[in-house]
Structure 1
Amino acid sequence: MARKVYPLLIALFCISCASETPDPTPTPTENIYFPPITGTVWETKTISSLGWNQAAVQPLLDYLELKNSKGFIILVNGRIVMENYFNGHTQETGWYWASAGKTLTATLTGIAQQEGLLNINNKVSDYIGTGWTSMPLAKENLITNKHLLSMTSGIEDIANGDDVTPAKLTYKADAGSRWAYHNVYVKLQDVIAQASGQTWSSYFNTKLRDKIGMSGTWIQLDNNNVYWSTTRSMARFGLLMYNKGKWDNTVILNENYFNEATNTSQSINLGYGYLWWLNGKSSYHLPQTQLQFNGSLISTAPNDMFMALGKNDQKIYVIPSKKMVVIRMGDVANPENPTFALSGFDAELWTKISALYQ
């Protein structure tokens, strides 16, 4: 009997081993797609191929059109899943980024640092000289590039508006002790110009715009230097940031700085990085108030989302957990209640976006 049992045990052992052998042809993980630097070719994916809810598409489009949108794009792993234009806007039409373009300045600051042109921990006056504010010199010299990136310069934010001439940059608090949303961040563009020996636009075009195939230019709008481009160019920048500063295999912005920029930059406003807004934190501050609000910035959106938010609802949403980049350009969504950054539009929009994939 023993001689008959052994072959049976050997056979069972072999079957067991076979069942533990990995599948020789596993399903490959889809690579991130990057559109060519030139031309209009851009790979797409369908709603159905993602297993998303087709019935949720039209309510989203109706809402976007109702809310004065002009351009809207959803990328998943770099591929276009939705691309829609409204109110006479087209794929070739340019529009302003408003304060969503602050993140472009943050990115160029990181690029200049990795090239050894500046250090964000050095004081601003090291690069553009003293007297760039009307603050006492000792207080002005407390302000570093990092304070401008994190909105903690201590400069008065309400009384003098967006004017960044020295006479209007007055003392409110010591740098690092107070978070306040202020246009003074644009001084980083002067820092970069001085450090690089180039104009701001020239350095920007060479180091970022042309390397990832963006179109666009810097224009003066409402006394601000704002970026103007197509919706697809905004999506290209969002894709770069989704991939942690790399365009395909080319490092544009190093990952260490990217991680600093897209995480809490100071202890006052947990929802703010280096000119990026951060979702999913336990509290946050908003422009033009010193109030602290508890909870996530956009409760209807994924917690890991980071955002570029601009006046009149210009939006770049980057959601790593969903492999998504979402772009919205247009006029103010709620004209009766315009805001500088976050608005009720964000929460309602994300209710409709999340209905696609939930």
Structure 2
Amino acid sequence: MKKLSLIALSSFLVFACSSSDDSKTESGGTTNPPTEEAMYFPDNGTDTWETKSPATLGWNESNIPPLLEYLETKNTKSFMILVNGRIVMENYFNGHTATTPWYWASAGKTLTATLTGIVEQEGFINTNNKVSDYLGTGWTSAPLEKENLITCKHLLTMTSGLDDSLGDDVSPANLEYIADAGSRWAYHNVYVKLQDVVAQATGQSWSTYFNSKLRNPIGMTGAWLESGEDLSVYWSTTRSMARFGLLALNNGKWKETQIINSSYFNNAINTSQDINKAYGYLWWLNGKESYHLPQTQFKFNGSVIPSGSADMYMALGKNDQKIYVIPSKKMVVIRMGNAADGENFALSGFDNELWQKINDVIE
């Protein structure tokens, strides 16, 4: 295995030692404990990013090489861990680099959910309104009375009631009624109609509005590229994906600016309906009592990723594109690459195995 980069700054080691020493008084007692480390945000327009060493966090460094070996054998292109916004691990594999873009696949659903919240807070839409209020009737081939049951909120929660077995095509002819909106959860690309809602409501293209309201304010780079069947997929560097993960960790706030209101974002990362407890507004949720998987109507008991933290929420994309956000650990974990094992829609056994390896390092 070729040598892999593990970023560390010796200054943090010095700080940790001095902090420990300074907490002692001359009489051997202790002063107040050191204040909690502030959340860090990288500046926009630069790739300069503060780092922190695993040693200062008390991680088991001997388990880092096995984690990296595992990631490389699982077709990973990039891997990153942030703690309090600072990079603790940043690794690239198989010729991928910090400047190479890669696709988010369905992990980008969370970008759509976020921008939908922004357009609502600006007064352009109400997510409780029916989709046809913005797109007009006939955007599906469902009977009109059934189409008019479908709200923007149903698209956010994957409960449109449209037939998910017909493939990725979201043209009206391929969006057929199968159940009343809100009565059935199904993983379906019809969520992209929210992008059309945003464009119609604002009078701007999806990309223009996205760039001005989300991408640029948090210093991301990247672009939406067409992938067929009227779908677009976001491509960016790993650090741009990490910036969005950091925004999510901070409940939609970037530095001193609330990019998306915290009430909407809190709803987005909590159970959004009673059918799939592990789903919010296009975010996957760990630690719930039950879950559904893409392309199934079966309910499974227990947590989606048993080895992951119960408070973790995730942006998950085809072939194992991952953003894991863990508030209790103030941590964001990014994984980009090809499918770890077989092709998958969003979740796979890789998630649980990966978190077992990560836990060996951080716990």
Report the TM-score range of the alignment, normalised by the length of the smaller protein.
Answer: over 0.9
Report % sequence identity.
Answer: 69
- 78, 88, 97: which one aligns with 1:71: 78
Superposition misfits of 4+ residues, deviation over 6 angstroms: none
| Distance in 1 separating the partners of 2:30 and 2:208 | 52
Measured in 1, the distance between the counterparts of 2:180 and 2:215 equals 35
- TM-score, normalised to structure 1, is 0.92
- Structure 1 residue corresponding to 2:280, chosen from 273, 277, 283: 273
2:217 corresponds to which residue?
Answer: 211
Aligned-partner residue type, residue 343 of structure 2: P
Tell me what 2:64 maps to.
57
Deviation at 1:339, TM superposition (A): 1.1
Q: Is the aligned partner of 1:192 residue 2:198?
A: yes
Quote the residue 2:311 is aligned against: 304
Task: Give the TM-score normalised by the residue count of structure 2.
Answer: 0.91
1:348 is aligned to 2:360: no
Letter of the aligned partner of 2:183 in structure 1?
S
What amino acid sits opposite 1:299 in the alignment?
P
1-structure distance, mates of 2:252, 2:296 = 32
Give the equivalent residue in structure 1 for 2:291.
284
Match of 2:12 in 1: none
2: distance between equivalents of 1:231 and 1:202?
22
Q: Distance in 1 between matches of 2:194 and 2:81?
A: 31
Q: Deviations over 1:286-342 (max 9, x none)?
A: 1111000000000000000000000010000000001100000000100xx321011
Deviation at 1:23, TM superposition (A): 7.5
* Aligned pairs for 1:67-146 within 5 A: 67-146=74-153
Structure number with greater Rg is 1
The answer for unaligned runs of 5 or more in structure 2 is 1-28
- Which amino acid letter does the alignment assign opposite residue 35 of structure 2? P
SS across alignment from 1:142: coil
Partner Cα distance (1:29, 1:90) in 2: 33
Instruction: Indicate which of 236, 243, 251 corresponds to 2:250.
Output: 243
* CA root-mean-square deviation: 1.1
Secondary structure of 2:52's counterpart equals coil
Deviates further, 221-230 or 277-286: 221-230
> Residue 210 of structure 1: SS of its match in structure 2?
helix
In 1: Cα distance, 2:286 partner to 2:340 partner: 20
Letter in 2 for 1:155: L
Query: Equivalent residue of 1:175, what SS?
Result: coil
Tell me the distance in 2 between the aligned counterparts of 1:106 and 1:40. Answer: 26
Residues matched between the structures, number: 334
Instruction: Give the partner amino acid of 1:212.
Output: I
Aligned-partner Cα distance in 1 for 2:273–2:335: 28
